[in-house]
Structure formats: structure tokens, C-alpha cells
Amino acid sequence: MPITALCYFNGFQPKNVMSRLNLSIAAQASGSGARAAEFTTQHGKVLTPVFMPVGTQATVKCQNVGTLRDSGSTVLLANTYHLMLRPGAEVFRAFGGIHRFMNWDKPVLTDSGGYQIFSLPHACKMNEKGALFQSYVDGRWFLLSPETSIQMQKDIGSDIMMVLDQCIPSTANRVAAEAAMDLTHRWARRSLDARGDAPAALFGIVQGAAFPDLREKSAAYITSLPFDGFAVGGLAVGETKEQREDLTEAATALLPRDRPRYLMGVGTPVDVIEAVHRGVDMFDCIIPTSLAQRGTAYTSIGRLHMRRGLYRLQDVPLDPDCQCPTCRHYSRAYIHHLIKVEEVLGWHLLGQHNLYFYHRMMREIRANVVSGQFIDYYKEKRESWAHVDGDDPDAIHPRPRPARRMLLGDYEVLTAPQGFSSVRQCSSGEVMHSVSDPAEESRLLYIEQSRLDARLRISGAPELVIWDVGLGAATNAMAAVRCFEESLLTHTSGALRSLRIVSFERDLDPLRLAIRHSARFPHLHHAAPSAMLRNAHWEHASGLLQWDLLEGDFLEKMNLAARPDLIFYDPFSFKTDGPLWTTETFLKLFRAMADGETSLYTYSTSTAIRAALLWAGFYVARGVPIPPKTETTVACTRPECLHVAGYPPLPLLDRHWLDRWERSGAKVPAGVTPDEQADFENRIRKHPQFS
């Protein structure tokens, strides 16, 4: 009988089972749950509270291991899911594990892959056995089960492994939360069996969403199993800060004192100190390096956004109180410059500084627990760090602004004199649907022009698939949803064709921001957009309309979606989102579509972009005007796509356009080299649409 089953059925308490980590508590703060402890892994000792940088792809983004060591990193987190796909288990086996592979000799904690799997709803089939998912890299199918997850974590050579759990948003309903919890419990036992007597530690995960009684039940069950540590899972995915703190407090109170406690995916400095106060020992978060990529630094005086012109001439270090190599050797002006011109050194320098900041913060927290002053320190810091978490301290005396700005992340709401509102990306200055009322633009450019309602009425036709590239504030997708609902109301004879909308988006802040100010965005007065944010999926009550969200890079995710009939191509412009407008991208799209009839609608009328579409193989037509623009662009795999019964087809670009293109100063898109130019031009001239 496996050890887990023995322990469970004989009612052993984990306290009776030796932990592989041998946690010893050096100090316990009075008046607080905070504690200073240490534990030992196969690759050395770890002092807690500890912050673990995230090394998703066996590297902490843009940092080498020297910086990690020098800044004080003692444990790295690596992502089983990503490493399973690339480089794959056989590489880790060949190298004897991740430590030698990435030249890191200290402890590594691996997650189970569950979190990533459950954030890819489209490609995942789940049952008792595990989750079957399709690789976004090469389309291969993988089974992630408790057994395969542990095997992969063993191959990686992890020091601390995590059990596979079913992650659901903390805002999930009770039935879903309870089902996920029960499955997580069964998987926890299978994970322990799979670990067997391997030397690596294994952590159990307490689930139960936002239901205190479920959390209690989950903690009671999971801590009855002989895990070496315990994680609080399913937080930091949708709940408010206050809810998270309450749930954390309730969860840690139920965990044994003699095992490390890990709060997964948290957080900002204030989140960290709040959780330490509630008894948490271990943290991981992508914030230090991901904010660095966006040009943001955590400093002792607050968060600095280095993109701002304010820093252009500042010959002072990023943070006067920091001794990191970035602050010792470089000025704010230089970092500002690197960020502006998007040099990776800027990302590296800010990431390096942010890692020093986080590790210094953790050492300070620990020192205060040890010296018995934590509670005073906590009270002081949670006030002063509110601004560390908050916005730019150099904006304490901002120029007067006409009105309160409606901001979230890199986005703000703009309201035009005509009364409609749009979302603007602050860093690029680009406004989504900049030329007219967004809802009106969506209707004309995507819905009416594609004759969506007529297509939905082709009875007996297979499911119609729309790709919504650039979800933004969901203006285009909601225009399609409304069109479907109107068709459903007015269509009486026979069944309406079913519709699937697949939205692609890298950053959900524009939608979050617009929902926060939904009074200004009438298209959001509907249940679907919030459901998308929560579940990445929404289904119409008729069962005839499915809407899915694929979060991430479009070019990586497109293989996961069914071939579309219509593409609403609405990313930011070439200037801001260049990769989505290249010949390579259009060729990839065309190849994926070539065996069917697909039409792509876009606002761009750029000569070079139209040429790139032609070069890739599309037929290209003039789209309808969206005042003040006199036309837009439609591309399709075959000219037949432009014919919808009862409507005149859109006019293909003709020889007049070709003549103008020949004379154009911008006839070739960026990325085509001088060597390739002649071939490129010939391919345009020989395109069948001009013969």
C-alpha cells in the first residue's frame, strides 16, 4: 500500500511524519502571524519569509544567474507546463536537471502546470485522469495528470514540487468550487504516490475558492496528508485585496506550524507584507521583471515609470537608497533613454534593480521579525508602501489636469466632444477606434461590411467562426454579439446558424478599464464582457453562440482556434504592434486559411500593408468608408468570399491601384530587404487579381 493511503486511512497526523525540509522557526512575531524560519533543500538552506523570482522558461526574464545570486535570490520558481513543451523532459534528463542546464546551484521550486492549463480553456479536455491539452508550440497533445506532472518535475530536478490542482477563479460559484476542491484532493493523494520516496519535497495546495467552509474542509483534508509544505491556491485570480487578506488569514490559521506556507502568485510589496503578517513564508510573482519590461521601477520613494519625459535629463540614480549595480552605475536619464528606444538593456537594468528591491525588502522583514519589532514595522510600512505600490511619486505635484483621469495600467479613457468614449494606450498614445464613435465604427467596418446577419441566416451551414484579433474594450466582439441577438429575435423561419467568436488579446486592462467605467461604454451593458474577464468564455442562453478568449500573443495562439470564416483584424497600428502587420504574419495567416473561404476586415488602408496582403496570397478589396476615412481594407482567400447573396460584392483593387502602387514611395512593407524587393514586387504584379 502506498504511504499516502496508509497515512490517510490510519489517521496519521503529518506532524508524525518527517518533513523533507526540516523547517525550524527562528522567531515568531508577537501580535502578528509573521515568523522567521529556515528550511533545508537538496540544494541548500532557505531563510524565510522568502521571495522567489519566476523563471518561467528556465531563466528569469532578462537576468543572468550572477545577478540572481548577487541580488539575494535563494529559490527560483520554474514553470513545469512551459518546460514540458520546450525544451521537453528529455533535455532535462540528458542534463541531469535544471540546475546544470541553467547554471543555477540553489533550490528550484516547480509549479505543477495546473495554473497554465486551466487558463487555456480552448485547448483543454479535463477528466478524472488529468487534463489533456494541445501544445501551442507544435500542436502535439499532452496529458497533464498528477503522475505526469510529478514525473516532469522530477525530470526537471525540482527541489520543491507542487501537486497538480484544478485552478478555478476565486470568484467561482459554490458548485464549481466544491467540484474543483474534491478533484484537487483526489489528485493530491495521487501526487504523493507518484512522488514515492524521491528526495524532493512536495507541497499540497489548499483550494475552496472564496467559501470559508470549503477552505476549512480543504485545509483539514490536505494537512492530513504527509506533505512537506502547504500552498494556498486559487487566490490572486479575481478576488478583491480585502477578500484575499481574509482568505489568507483563514487559510494559514488552519495550516500546521511546522511546515512552510506558500501563497502562490502574490504580489506587490504591500501584498507581501500583509501576507507575512498573516503567517505566510513563501512568495513568487512576476512583478519585478514584468514591470521592468514595461519601464517601471520599485524604489524606496515609490514606483517610477521610466518612460516619462520627466527623467530625460535626470543625472541621479533610480533610487537614492539602493546600492544595486543599476543604481551605482547608471542615471535615470540613461535608463529613460533605453526604455524609450526599447533596448533590452533597459529591461535588464530595471529588472535587476527590482530584484534587489524585493530581496532587500524580504531581508528587512525577516530582520524585524527576529528583532521583535515586526508589528511596528508592519504598521509603518503598510502605510508608506501604499505609495510604493501606487503611482509615480514624482507626480506628487502634477500639472493641473482638466478632470480626474480614468486610468488602469497603461490605458486611459478618453471622451470626445461628441460624447463617445474610447480607450487610449498611454505609452504609445494610440486610441482604439480613433476616428469615430467606436460602436459605430465596429458596426460599419466589421458587422455590416461582412454581412454578418445574412451569413448567420444561411440555414444548415456549419458553425460560423469569427476571429476578433485585438479584443481591446470588446467593441467589435460585442457588435457581433448584438448582431447575433438581433438576428435571433427577427429570424423566424428555421434555425439560425451557430456562431463562435474567438477573441485574441495580450492585455485585458483595456476591457477591465472600460467595464470599470461602463457608463461611458454602452456596448458593455451586457452580461458577456464581465463573464469573459472571469471565465474567458461566455455562452448565449440559446446555446447557439460561444465566445472564447485566448489570452496571449495572437501569433502563438492562433493555432488553437478553429479556422475562421471572418477575421476582424483590429490590433494597434504598425507603429505600436509591428509584428502583426508583417509579410511573414500575413503569410502565416494565409497558409492557415488557404483551404477555405476566409475574409479579413481591417481599418488600415496603407499601401505597404495592402501589398503585404497581396504578396501573402490574399485577394484584396477596397472596404467601406468609415468617415473621415474614405475607405478600409478587406482581404480574402478567394474572390468568391466577397459575394454574399443579395449584396453587391466589394471591388477588388484593380490596375489603377497597381499603377499608383508602382509610383508609391512606400510600396514595400518594412521587413522586406533590398535583396528581396525585386521578387516581392514581381509577385504583386503577377497576382491573379490583376490579370
Minimum separation from the CB atom of position 107 to Zn ion (A): 25
User: What's the grid cell of residue 686?
Assistant: 503577377
Task: Identify which of residues 352 and 368 has a Cβ nearer to Zn ion in the complex.
Answer: 352
Minimum separation from the CB atom of position 353 to Zn ion (A): 4
Considering only residues 315-334, where is the footprint of Zn ion by CB under 5 A? 319, 322, 324, 326-327
- Part of the chain binding Zn ion (CB under 5 A), chosen from 38-46, 69-77, 183-191, 348-356: 348-356
Amino acid at 209: A
CA distance 307 to 305: 6
CB 473 within 8 A of CB 371: no
By CB under 5 A, tell whether 359 contacts Zn ion. no
By CB under 5 A, tell whether 353 contacts Zn ion. yes
Strand, coil or helix: 4: helix
Task: Identify which of residues 48 and 326 has a Cβ nearer to Zn ion in the complex.
Answer: 326
- Part of the chain binding Zn ion (CB under 5 A), chosen from 113-121, 267-275, 311-319, 645-653: 311-319
User: What's the grid cell of residue 435?
Assistant: 476616428
Can you count the helices (H) and strands (E) in the chain?
26, 27
Q: Which of 111, 155, 228, 410 is catalytic?
A: 111
Task: Identify which of residues 144 and 355 has a Cβ nearer to Zn ion in the complex.
Answer: 355
- The answer for 59, left when phi > 0, alpha when psi is -120 to 50, beta otherwise, is beta
Task: Identify which of residues 320 and 651 has a Cβ nearer to Zn ion in the complex.
Answer: 320
x/- site string to Zn ion, residues 167 to 196, per CB under 5 A? Answer: ------------------------------
Minimum separation from the CB atom of position 299 to Zn ion (A): 8
Task: Identify which of residues 124 and 301 has a Cβ nearer to Zn ion in the complex.
Answer: 301
- Part of the chain binding Zn ion (CB under 5 A), chosen from 349-357, 360-368, 397-405, 638-646: 349-357
By CB under 5 A, tell whether 215 contacts Zn ion. no
Q: Is 111 a catalytic residue?
A: yes
Q: Which of 155, 271, 281, 284 is catalytic?
A: 284
Minimum separation from the CB atom of position 318 to Zn ion (A): 5
Neighbours of 197 (CB within 10 A): 5
Peptide bond into 49 cis (omega under 30): yes
Q: How far apart are the first and last CA of the chain?
A: 76
CB 389 within 8 A of CB 303: yes
For residue 42, give the nearest of 185, 133, 156 by alpha carbon.
156
CA distance 630 to 658: 18
Minimum separation from the CB atom of position 273 to Zn ion (A): 20
Q: Is 284 a catalytic residue?
A: yes
CB 105 within 8 A of CB 139: no
Minimum separation from the CB atom of position 327 to Zn ion (A): 3
- Part of the chain binding Zn ion (CB under 5 A), chosen from 94-102, 312-320, 410-418, 436-444: 312-320
By CB under 5 A, tell whether 478 contacts Zn ion. no
Task: Identify which of residues 222 and 324 has a Cβ nearer to Zn ion in the complex.
Answer: 324
Minimum separation from the CB atom of position 306 to Zn ion (A): 12
CB 529 within 8 A of CB 515: yes
User: What's the grid cell of residue 384?
Assistant: 508608506
Tally of CA atoms within 13 A in the half-sphere of 691 that contains its CB = 7
Task: Identify which of residues 61 and 353 has a Cβ nearer to Zn ion in the complex.
Answer: 353
CB 291 within 8 A of CB 351: no
Q: How far is CA 622 from CA 436, 439, 660, 669, in A?
A: 19, 21, 14, 19
Q: Which residues are catalytic?
A: 111, 284
Q: Which residues bind Zn ion (CB under 5 A)?
A: 319, 322, 324, 326-327, 353
